[in-house]
Structure 1
Amino acid sequence: LGGTSRTDSNFLFSYAPPVLSSLRMLPGAARLLTSIGAPLTRVPTLGMALQIVGTNLGSPDVGAPMLVMDNNAVLNITFQNHTLIVVRIPAGDGVDHTLRYFVGNQWSPTFMLDYAPPSVTDVTPRRGPTLGGTLITLRGANFGVTPPVITLGGLPCTVAASVTPSAGHDTLTCTTSAGQGTGHVAQVSVSGQASVMNASIAFSYNAPRVDSVSPSGGPTSGRLPGALLSDGLHRAQGERVMITLRGADFGRNGSVALELAATETSSAQRFVVPPDDVVLHNDTHVHFYLPPGYGEALPIRLSVSGQANADAVTFTYDAPSVSALGYYNRQPTECAPRTQCFEFQNRTVCKVQAAGCWDTRGESMLELVGASFGPQDVLSGVTVVT
């Protein structure tokens, strides 16, 4: 009695190892040591002081605890008891960061920590030229410390090579690339986490602006007069007329049409340029072949990704012109005056005799030869002036 048993290695006692189970918001200072804060699933990229709840976390009198992040950064613990530690998580971004807690010569299992993904709340300015080069500012939260990837509707927005995170991780700038159209939703990606796309937070490229058209008029056929044929009356098909539009914010592709307004006697018409007839399309110039059409002062409408120019630049097709008149069912030589010659008193006498093509009784089928008559269905009539 009164003795001490000898030590036996078969009867060693160990405390349970520490386990980290959840993150909590830090309550108000007055309740810091006695209250558990609201659950926290992700840490803001600015970092923050927070609670980590667990079990078997020990106490300061059994040895200094240690919390290690990503196997290299030792974090400063400001409070500890058996079920709670308070620590400040540093600024960062991304997911799957590791936390391991050491106390009483025992390590906890790995606890995974994620930073909050970026979010975008505003983009300014909201418009810019199709050439790109607009410096825009994005505002939001959790933009992190890693260089971001920014897109506008899938188009890259270039971030400066060296990015210094804003003080609140809430501001970014980038330079737009060339593009066209509207509603390019802004998205920020940082370390594999992307912001949720919001259709109301978007960038749009300017609508096209047409300053001039050259030439501003041309034949209704869309072609220049060709060479005169052997009959001396008709002409071969000439070269197509090339039209040039000049302006700004034309983008890289679109459609061109000449619009004829409706009148009391005719419906509205659109003379559309087929895509294959557009020879060149860049931000400041469009070259295209003139489509067949008719009318005067037709507004030229350039549409680019749903946006059209509102400028009053117009084109006028040539008025009809008549260069010759022929008999519809006879060759031109048949209706030419004929010269008859005969011998009279040892001399040759010649006289010109009409061919007799033009019957004064009318009802003869005539052929008018000229240019810019337009299509037959819009011909309003032919008047013979005597």
Structure 2
Amino acid sequence: MFLTPSDWNEDSMPISPNQGSSAGGTAVVITGTGLANATAVRFGLNPATITANTATQVDVVSPAGHGSVGVTVATPGGTSNALPFFYIEPPTKTSLSPSSGVTAGGNSVTITGTNLNTASAITFGANAGTITSANAGTVVATVPAGAAGTVPITLTTSGGSTNGLFYTYVAAPTVTDVDPAEGPTAGGTPVTIGGTGLTTTSQVTFDGAPASFSVLSDTELTAVTPAGTAGTADIVVTTTGGSDTLAAGFNYLAGPGI
């Protein structure tokens, strides 16, 4: 039975690297003695491509393969002992959570899939993210800043790269106006709030008190004011892209007293 890469002592092994993608194409250097005029290098039963050869070194490009195999060098003087090489299967991605966030980046996302433990790089569109943890089934990464819109995610491992998942950068909302702009302290006033980037609205508050709301479009939503105290109240609209405040946007009117 062959060993896994973690079991091998790379410092004493005359093969570097000792692992690579199952698709092949890994540049591998084999060192030793009596290697001149190498006629073949095999990874298991599969021949590699020899790119350079001296008496003490053979440079090859690995063929495709699977699992752990023995690497041998054949010369006119015979065939060497076998050195272990481990093929790493390509990654797959099955889900992304969350799949959207602020353009400023900085939030954490989790990617699930298979063969992810050797993840070394991740990009969101053209921008590099930061991998904070990785195991065979999960990668956690920090999203970089990006422009509003949807971008592909590419994840690179020792077994290759994979994409197929997409992340959406959502622009921060703006709140520009409210109509009507006043109502009783008891609440219950239907209002229309205008602005931009309102499609993903998740909360509307009046001085911190949540209001019921409905999104009409990216530039308009309706809400019903909660109860409040007499005076002006800040209106805060929160979306996937962040939040915006219309300072003193609504005026609560005290009822008459006798």
TM-score (norm 1): 0.37
Q: 2:187 aligns with which of 222, 244, 257?
A: 222
Q: 2:155 aligns with which of 181, 188, 195?
A: 188
Task: Note if 1:207 corresponds to 2:181.
Answer: no
Q: How big is the shift at 1:309?
A: 0.8
User: What residue number does 1:271 align with?
Assistant: 209
Q: Name stretches of at least 5 consecutive residues in structure 1 with no aligned partner.
A: 1-19, 25-39, 119-125, 130-134, 141-149, 158-173, 178-185, 195-202, 224-240, 260-269, 321-371, 374-380
Q: 1:89 aligns with which of 49, 61, 72?
A: 61
Q: 1:111 aligns with which of 78, 84, 89?
A: 84
Q: How big is the shift at 1:80?
A: 4.1
Which one has the largest radius of gyration? 1
Q: 2:42 aligns with which of 55, 68, 85?
A: 68
Task: Note if 1:138 corresponds to 2:127.
Answer: yes
Distance 1:87 1:250, change over 3 A: same
User: What residue number does 1:146 align with?
Assistant: none
User: What residue number does 1:246 align with?
Assistant: 194
Mapping of 1:33-182 within 5 angstroms? 51-54=29-32, 59-60=36-37, 64-69=38-43, 72=46, 74-81=48-55, 84-89=56-61, 100-103=71-74, 106=79, 108-109=81-82, 111-113=84-86, 127=103, 136-139=125-128, 175-176=150-151
Q: Work out the CA distance in 2 between the residues paired with 1:97 and 1:193.
A: 17
Q: Work out the CA distance in 2 between the residues paired with 1:253 and 1:293.
A: 22
Residue identity matched to 1:246: G
Q: Work out the CA distance in 1 between the residues paired with 2:184 and 2:140.
A: 46
Task: Note if 1:299 corresponds to 2:234.
Answer: yes
Task: Note if 1:309 corresponds to 2:257.
Answer: no
For residues 103-127 of structure 1, give each alpha carbon's deviation from its aligned partner in whole angstroms, at most 9, with x where no partner exists. Answer: 2664754631568x99xxxxxxx92
Distance 1:73 1:285, change over 3 A: farther
* SS of equivalent to 1:309: strand
Distance 1:304 1:42, change over 3 A: same
Task: Note if 1:256 corresponds to 2:204.
Answer: yes
Residue identity matched to 1:22: P
User: What residue number does 1:365 align with?
Assistant: none
* SS of equivalent to 2:48: strand
Indicate if the aligned counterparts of 1:212 and 1:245 stay in contact, CA closer than 8 A. yes
Distance 1:78 1:209, change over 3 A: same
Residue identity matched to 1:256: V
Q: Work out the CA distance in 1 between the residues paired with 2:41 and 2:195.
A: 63
Distance 1:244 1:97, change over 3 A: farther
* SS of equivalent to 1:76: strand
Distance 1:128 1:88, change over 3 A: same
Distance 1:139 1:256, change over 3 A: closer
Distance 1:243 1:98, change over 3 A: farther
Q: Work out the CA distance in 1 between the residues paired with 2:226 and 2:203.
A: 13
Indicate if the aligned counterparts of 1:67 and 1:77 stay in contact, CA closer than 8 A. no
Distance 1:187 1:59, change over 3 A: closer
Q: Work out the CA distance in 2 between the residues paired with 1:258 and 1:108.
A: 76
CA RMSD in angstroms comes to 5.1
Q: Taking CA–CA contacts closer than 8 Å with sequence separation of 6 or more, which of the two structures ends up with the larger relative contact order?
A: 2
Distance 1:280 1:175, change over 3 A: closer
Indicate if the aligned counterparts of 1:96 and 1:114 stay in contact, CA closer than 8 A. yes
* SS of equivalent to 2:206: strand
Distance 1:139 1:98, change over 3 A: farther
Indicate if the aligned counterparts of 2:191 and 2:224 stay in contact, CA closer than 8 A. yes
Residue identity matched to 1:188: L
Aligned residues: 196
